[in-house]
Amino acid sequence: MNTLSYKTNSAKKGEVERNWYVIDAEGEVVGRICSKIAHVLRGKHKTSYTPHVDTGDYVIVINAEKIRFTGKKWDQKEYITFSGYPGGQKRRVAKDMRTKKPIGVVENAVRGMLPKTKLGRAMIKKLFVYEGAEHPHQAQQPQPFEF
């Protein structure tokens, strides 16, 4: 009689191998590309994914100012921040956000797709967003990520 043994391997913090990926955001739709970026930051593209361990990889996003929205979102989408004080709510339209801080559009979208815990705060630190096509991470030898 042959007995089968199935074992689930759970990733441990020290055993996680991290890769560096570069993603060109030129002409990409914000929500679609950011959901894929969040997927990689969480590590869900790996077979060793474990929900309670940060198994994700590092992601470098270039050409963030050339990202696009569909429809009229550049004029209608608002980013709202609140300082905690009375009258401390600020609203910024996506078009203004693109002119003042183009990387903020991508960072804000990805942050909203990650967990709102210590684990999510650790994951967002592995995201590097740059406006142009240049980035200072050549020493890490990032590979282009294929979706």
138 inside domain:
yes
For the entire predicted model, the pTM comes to: 0.90
Task: Convert the pLDDT of each residue in 59-91 to its tens digit.
Answer: 999 999 999 999 999 999 999 999 999 999 999
91 inside domain:
no
127 inside domain:
yes
6 inside domain:
no
User: In this structure, what CATH number is given to the domain that contains residue 32?
Assistant: 3.90.1180.10
Residues 63 and 77: their CA atoms lie apart, in Å, by 21
86 inside domain:
no
- Structurally, how many domains does the chain consist of? 1
Q: What is the pLDDT of residue 8?
A: 83
88 inside domain:
no
Residues 132 and 63: their CA atoms lie apart, in Å, by 5
Task: Convert the pLDDT of each residue in 92-112 to its tens digit.
Answer: 999 999 999 999 999 999 999
Report the SS3 class of residue 89: strand
Q: What is the domain range of residue 130? A: 18-69+96-144
